[in-house]
Structure 1
Amino acid sequence: MAINTPKVIVISHLPLPYDGIGSWTTLYDYYLTTDTHQIDYIICPEPKKRYKDITYSCTRTSTVQKIKNKLGTSKSYERIFKALDEVLEKEDAVIIKIIDNAGVVLPLKAYLNDNYQTKHCYLQFYYHGFPPFFGNPKGRLFFAALDETILLTHASYKDHLAYYTDLPCAFSVLHNGIDGNLFFKLDHAPRAALRLSLGITPKEQVFLWLSQDRPKKGLDFILKIWNSFYKNNPQCKLWVIGADRAENLSGVTFYGKIPNQELSQYYQAADVYLYPTLCKEGFGLTLTEAMKSGCYCIASANGGIPEVVQHGKLAVLISNPNYRQEWEDAMNKTVELFAENKLQDVFKVPENLYNLSTWCAELNTIITKAKDTF
């Protein structure tokens, strides 16, 4: 019997569209507003608004249940399964895209086996981290339950390949993308005007840190370095975005959280972007935004970051991210380049690199190839 064209279902533990600050949710918001997206259904908590051309099956989950589900500590996914029932009653072939919620994969596979053996279901897991997160015994079962895993970098795939004894599913790699209409390098005159409007004098050099305020993101690490660095470089400033602290530190301004659509001016006005991640990052979306906005970037050689910056062609890599002296040396080098008016010309980031339009096209290719397996 011929199989109907498979429908595509997204299962998300966050509401889509998402009104908070996120990374992959921003990508999907852009994708789901294009005319070429291939998503038919979304299963997620009820959002404040819905995409017009997508059918929703909404889950209503308590905060405690959300945490348990995300951590994989609960076997109760009835709300997701009930929402999925609404779709599978109408469709006989589906591609189920699970975004980051690893805990739901094995219970979902068991549920499908028990209740929908006559249906054709392709499970696709989209992972936005970098390192393997399950040990070998559970990892073997996890990947056997999937038809495909999508990772952010080839480096992450190599890490998985080296770690797991068995890796029984297909893999694809999809680099993140950013909005090139929002994050781009300004020409000299408009950049000078922007800096002036933000209170920066021509002789002042601005460093920028932007992330969520968590220990693994390296803010406290950088602030300790800044204390000694600033004593010898009082013409420098450090802007901190994403952390709202009451600390009074010389040369440091804390801006708290700023909406994504307002961030571009800070990237464009800054001279140096610091990305001192102390964990294995999947991709580093803010790093990419900074590169595309014209910042001279200094980044930890951690996780997928070396691949993102083309192993030093697009940014300075700190090979030992936990060594403070390496960061201070790299920061001091930027002071020399700034004084020589060379800082803005060190790295050339191609305009078409990591664009959202490219990301959308590549995601569509991955979905189309999944459909071709039916």
Structure 2
Amino acid sequence: MTNQVQTIFICQFPMPFDKIASWTTMYNYLLKKHNPFDYIICPKPNKKANSDYVYLRDISLIDRIKNKVDNRSLYSNYIEALKAVINKDKKYIIHIVDNSGVVLPIHSFLSDNFERKNFYIQYYYQGFNPIYSSVKGQNFIYALNEIFFLTGLSYKAFLGYYSDFTPKARVLYNGTDSDKFKIVDNTIKVDLRTQFKIHGKMVFIWCSQDRPKKGLDFILDVWKKLYSKYSDKIVLFVVGVNREIELEGVINVGRVPNHELPKYYQMSDVYLFPSLWKEGFGIVLAEAIKCGCYVIASKQGGIPEVLQFGKLGKLIENPNFEEEWLQAIEHVINDKTLLLELKNDNNILNNLYDINDWSNKINSFITEAKESIL
């Protein structure tokens, strides 16, 4: 019966996406291994998945001018693409990821031109805080049939913010490739460190995008104070930035391809995540944990849930206070038993935040949506 319902994936990026990003990497895997979509509406990609495509045209200057009066004009290319796909005699699951602006225009288009009950809008939110305030936010919520949150904490934030919360909700953690992000044995770890001439030191790593809210400059200030005291014991890898960092005890490796990231986690002991905003999930957290790193992270947004509320690492209650980071890092320097706690149960890490499990759940949730709309 579910083959009577067709699935449409709507994406603001060309899919598969050939650049590095968190959720697009997951959807690349989904499209390659377990593709549930009959149609993909997106900009033209360099290579195609096994789906029918409708490409989004570029938004014109006229559309942008019209948008000042009616903001649906900014998304007119999505509406045109849907018109090319939709058959009035069929039912559809419309799957949207982290593109909140397109939801209301699509909902209005479907309501004005079709039986809205024949369409089921799934929205996968990759942030943390409620998206819109006041009337627009409530209308956004009404437009959804189902919403996936990265953490239960994010769901609670929405539930407490909007007076009415009508869509079905699920928590769907991001996933990583367990065949790549995994613990390696000690001989490989030593070999990796030897490539950088590191011997007998505790290795810390910061890996993220170089934006103020990711806290690199903050943690470098912390590092200056630490290194003056522990210069013979510690070294810090910085991964993901293109600027010069001239600081003792810091190795800046710059931006690296996604397939090279695991080795930097695997040679490290401690992952530092000084996020200064409310993270939705933080896929780098999952990558570091699965490679066996002890994590010290800000108690912000969805991070506490990703770290299982302290079971998988140390949460900093006041992430803008340098002294709390200093205390937490000094604690792990002086108590190396913390580094062994996770590694003693490798099976838990292998199954944790696994991309294959994630893709199976996406398929399962789409199948349930088909059954619901029928």
Q: TM-score, normalised by structure 2?
A: 0.92
1:347 corresponding residue in structure 2 = 342
* Deviation of 1:95 (Å): 0.4
**How do residues 270-349 of structure 1 correspond to structure 2 at under 5 angstroms?**
270-338=268-336, 342-348=337-343
Q: Partner of 2:94: helix, strand, or coil?
A: strand
1:190 corresponding residue in structure 2 = 188
Q: Distance in 1 between matches of 2:101 and 2:265?
A: 36
AA aligned to 2:27 is Y
Measured at CA, do residues 293 and 91 of structure 1 come closer, stay the same or move farther in structure 2, by a change above 3 Å?
farther
AA aligned to 2:369 is A
2:206 corresponding residue in structure 1 = 209
Q: Partner of 2:272: helix, strand, or coil?
A: strand
Q: Distance in 1 between matches of 2:236 and 2:58?
A: 40
Larger mean CA deviation between 41-50 and 110-119 belongs to 110-119
Q: Distance in 2 between matches of 1:19 and 1:214?
A: 22
2:27 corresponding residue in structure 1 = 28
Q: Distance in 1 between matches of 2:267 and 2:168?
A: 43
Q: Partner of 1:15: helix, strand, or coil?
A: coil
AA aligned to 2:47 is K
Q: Distance in 2 between matches of 1:4 and 1:357?
A: 23
Q: In 2, are the aligned partners of 1:136 and 1:165 still within 8 Å (CA)?
A: no
**How do residues 109-148 of structure 1 correspond to structure 2 at under 5 angstroms?**
109-117=107-115, 120-148=118-146
Q: 1:257-290 CA distances to partner (integer Å, 9 max, x unpaired)?
A: 1111110000000111001111111111001100
Q: Distance in 2 between matches of 1:287 and 1:39?
A: 29
Q: Please, what is the CA RMSD of the aligned residues?
A: 2.2
Q: Partner of 2:4: helix, strand, or coil?
A: coil
* Deviation of 1:99 (Å): 0.9
Q: Distance in 1 between matches of 2:335 and 2:60?
A: 49
Aligned residue pairs, count:
364
**How do residues 89-128 of structure 1 correspond to structure 2 at under 5 angstroms?**
89=87, 92-117=90-115, 120-128=118-126
AA aligned to 1:366 is F
Q: In 2, are the aligned partners of 1:185 and 1:293 still within 8 Å (CA)?
A: yes
Q: Distance in 2 between matches of 1:45 and 1:302?
A: 34
AA aligned to 1:273 is Y
* Deviation of 1:118 (Å): 7.4
Q: TM-score, normalised by structure 1?
A: 0.92
Q: In 2, are the aligned partners of 1:273 and 1:295 still within 8 Å (CA)?
A: yes
Q: Partner of 2:295: helix, strand, or coil?
A: strand
AA aligned to 1:217 is K
Q: Distance in 2 between matches of 1:347 and 1:171?
A: 31
How many percent of aligned residue pairs carry the same amino acid? 44
Which among 268, 271, 275 is matched to residue 266 of structure 2? 268
AA aligned to 1:347 is L
Q: In 1, are the aligned partners of 2:59 and 2:77 still within 8 Å (CA)?
A: no
Q: Partner of 2:285: helix, strand, or coil?
A: helix
Q: Distance in 2 between matches of 1:269 and 1:357?
A: 25
Q: Distance in 1 between matches of 2:279 and 2:89?
A: 37
2:230 corresponding residue in structure 1 = 233
* Deviation of 1:4 (Å): 6.1
* Deviation of 1:132 (Å): 0.5
Q: Distance in 1 between matches of 2:72 and 2:197?
A: 51
Q: In 1, are the aligned partners of 2:110 and 2:116 still within 8 Å (CA)?
A: no
Q: In 1, are the aligned partners of 2:4 and 2:90 still within 8 Å (CA)?
A: no
5+ long unaligned stretches in structure 2: none
